[in-house]
Every structure is written in structure tokens, then in C-alpha cells.
Structure 1
Amino acid sequence: MTIKELSNDEILEMSAVEISYMMLKDKNNPAEFHTFFNDVADLKKIPKSQLDDRRTKLFTTLNIDGRFVHLGNNHWGLKEWYPVDKSDEDLSNTFQAPEEEVEEDREFEDIEDELDEIANEDDHDEDSDEEFDEYDDDDDQESDEEDDEEDNES
């Protein structure tokens, strides 16, 4: 049975996750979450005031329901479309982010690496300073000045 074969009353009585399943099955292709949520909301005539709450509930249900698989980049498909030996982790990389975002991520990784190197250099510098703390010149000067003052007073 397809969504088109259902009456309005049947659709209103069905859960959003069941409608999502039927829509994906009918389409026979993965879909972006917001796209099929909007279609579900239209079919079920969900009031605008409830959209955010219902969107969250559907997303959570898709994560829990064993029939769905997240394919990355907010796309969802049905597990039955994929080989049994494919893990969810393998499938989650099916839809990649646009190349611009990937390049931007690489830039941030490079900056993070540079900052780590600088932090490690600073740590190394601090360690070498600690070796000479016992022989601080300032302490010797202060004690010499105090000795000189005592001699002058006598």
C-alpha cells in the first residue's frame, strides 16, 4: 500500500514515523529529513505551533526505530535497502557535506595543529626555566642589599 492509496482519515490516524516509512519506501531513495518532515506535516495537517515539537519527536523516533538509517548530511534511508554487513557507521558517510564545508574543516584542523605545536613549545620552554629557579639572581641581589644596609647602620 502507498501513501496515495490512503484516505485522509487513515493518514491522520497514522503516526508520523509510519508515514515517513511509507514515503521513503514509495520513493525508494534516501531523503533529506526536513523535506520529508514537511511532507509528513502537510499530510497530517500539523499546526504550525506544534511543528518544532513534532519535528524533534520524529527525529528521535527515526534514530530509535530499527527500520531507518542515518546516511549523513541529514539524509535518511531504510535499512532494508543496504547489505546486512554494512554497519550504521559505514552508512553514515553515504551523503557527504559539500566540498566547501570540508575544506573549511581542514583549515580549522590545520589551525588547531599549529596551536597544539605552539602550546607544546611553550610547555617545553617552561620546563627549561624551572631548572634555574634555584639560582635566581634577584634573590641574591636583595640579600646583598640587605647586608649593605646593615653594615651602613653600624
Structure 2
Amino acid sequence: MVNTISKNNTDEVNVAYRILKAAGHPLYYRELIDQVFAEKGGTGRPPAHVIAEIHTRINLDSRFVHTGKSMWGLNEWSPQRISAREVEETAAARQDNTIRRERLLAAIQQDFEGDDDGSTAEPVTMIEDEDTDMEEEEEEMDTN
């Protein structure tokens, strides 16, 4: 009997998902559950228990999001949240790019200054050396 209830609950939650997807906007929980009842027909269980079970399953299902004031919507409608780690990684990548640009600019400036004093360093060699340095720094960061 327990397996039948959970399978039935899962079906009811999938129906709730389809209803919200078709509506395209959040619905009041009671309106959502009433529409689930209308689509599924009678359940043979006391309505208060069914309402509580469906509401609980919706609350636990990651596809749904509580939008406030007993309204439920779909998580896919919300802007994607990013973790603090992703923010830190993005900031570190930007900083690495900034450092690389500064070094490249310094290499280019040094090349132009070297032309005046007869220096023989090739700009391509300086950039290749810069790339090697950056790769070594990235490997160090990955090991930490």
C-alpha cells in the first residue's frame, strides 16, 4: 500500500509540474492542487491527506519554488543562482587575465624601448616566455 501512495504522489506532482508549465506563471497552492484533482479525478483517499501529501511533495521537489504568499512556481523560471566558489573562480580568472595583459603590455613596451638602445630580443620570444610563465602559475594554482 505504501508503494501505491508514493507512486500516486509522484504522478500527482508530475501533473502539478505540467499544470504550472502550461500556466507559465506561479499559482496559489490550493488552485494548483484543485487542478491536479480535476485532472487526476478521485483519489479514494481523504482530501485533507491528499492535499497535505501533494503540498509536501511539491515542497521537496527541486523543480518547484515557493514564490511567496502560498504561491508556487517552477525553479526553471528563476534566474540561475551561482555558488560562492564559482564567483571566486571567475574573479581569479579575471585577475589572471589582467596580470597576463599587464605582462604582455610590459613586454611590448620593453620591445619598443629595446629598439632604441639596440636590444636584440624578439617580441615573439618574449610572448612565448610569458605564456610559459602563465602555464607554470596555472599548474601551481591547480595543485593548491
Question: Under TM normalisation by the shorter chain, which class is it?
Answer: 0.3 to 0.5
Q: Relative CO higher for 1 or 2, CA cutoff 8 Å, sep ≥ 6?
A: 2
- Give 1 or 2 for the bigger CA radius of gyration: 1
**Structure 2-normalised TM-score?**
0.47
